[in-house]
Amino acid sequence: MNFLRSIIAVIALSCCALSALANELRCTVTINSDQIQGSNKEMFNTLQQSIEEFVNNSKWTDLTFQEKERIECSMMLVVKSVSDNILKCEFTCQTRRPVFGTTYSTPLLNFQDRDFSFSYQEFDRLDFQTSTFTSNLTALVAYYCYLIIGYDMDSFSRLGGTPYFQMCENIVTAAQSASLDESEAKGWKAFDSNRNRYALINNLMDEAFKPYRMFFYEYHRLGLDEMMNNVANARARIAAGLPVLKDASRARPATYVVTAFLDTKNDELVNIFAGGTSEEKKKVYALLTDIDPPRQSIYDGINRER
């Protein structure tokens, strides 16, 4: 009897452990169809639910995640037009991760895809295969899922996101080889823009930008995560790494990976260095306004009295 009870207890514990396991992403999907008049609005509700289930219920890696470890992220599609089952949209992807010992979550990525088109009919099944290009919609969503995971992994370990950025690169290559019309091909092309899906992943996988990715790790793991232990030291470490952004910008003008970082981090950088020493404020303000002059008014907050 005691043996039987032991077996039952082991089975119960195993079931609890399995139930605590989860997929990698916890994503909220929003679809804004306010610009579309007289269309089947229920189609957009179906699309929103399909994308959310596709992202959250898919297993994107071989890693084991606990429920509390799932990566918080969001995706939003703003539908600009619908014609013959072709949706033209703007797509925004955001992700964040908790800072150790705090209730604060730091943004990792805030990427806006301004021109994205795909074919969709209500109740279409969203299917993705790593070796086959199935549709522009699933290719884009999968690309951002791997990008989210890659950014998260890079923030916790040096170059930890490489396998997932490689998956993004594979998706880009497959999209470039697919028979897409001109509107669907936008974003995947090598020379279409220096601010698109291709440009971002090309930067991230370029050996020339490895110092930037190392800085991305240090910023989060050795900077933000150490704020609770010693704010001054953590802030100094971040300040010491910031020149990498300037080096990357000078080496490759219009570098999108740096732009994407500042798109995401500008407010956070102001909050970090507003409490810094006079010397830190002076150096950081000069560097940020040099490489990101359009946001000078935001960086002015570093020098404002608190």
**Which residue type is seen at 55?**
V
User: What is the pLDDT, as a whole number, of residue 268?
Assistant: 98
User: What is the pLDDT, as a whole number, of residue 5?
Assistant: 43
Which distant-in-sequence residues (6+ apart) come within 8 Å of 169 by Cβ? 201, 202, 205
In sequence order, what DSSP letters do the residues of 95-160 get, joined into one string? EEEEPTTSS-EEEEEEEEEEEEEEE--TT-----BTTB---HHHHHHHHHHHHHHHHHHHHHSTTT
Half-sphere exposure of 142 (CA within 13 A, CB side): 27
pLDDT in tens, the chain (306 residues): 444 444 434 444 444 444 467 899 999 999 999 999 876 789 999 999 999 999 999 999 999 999 999 999 999 999 999 999 999 999 999 999 999 999 999 999 999 998 899 999 999 999 998 878 999 999 999 999 999 999 999 999 999 999 999 999 999 999 999 989 888 999 999 878 888 999 999 999 999 999 999 999 999 999 999 999 999 999 999 999 999 999 998 877 668 999 999 999 999 999 999 999 999 999 999 999 999 999 999 999 999 876
User: What is the pLDDT, as a whole number, of residue 9?
Assistant: 41
User: What is the pLDDT, as a whole number, of residue 172?
Assistant: 95
User: What is the pLDDT, as a whole number, of residue 119?
Assistant: 93
- The 10s digit of each residue's pLDDT in 47-58 is 999 999 999 999
The number of beta carbons lying within 10 Å of the beta carbon of residue 161 is 25
User: What is the pLDDT, as a whole number, of residue 306?
Assistant: 61
Closest among 67, 75, 85 to 32, alpha carbons compared: 75
How do beta strands 71-83 and 21-22 pair?
A: unpaired
* pTM assigned to the model: 0.91
Q: Is 14 helix (H, G, I), strand (E, B) or coil?
A: helix
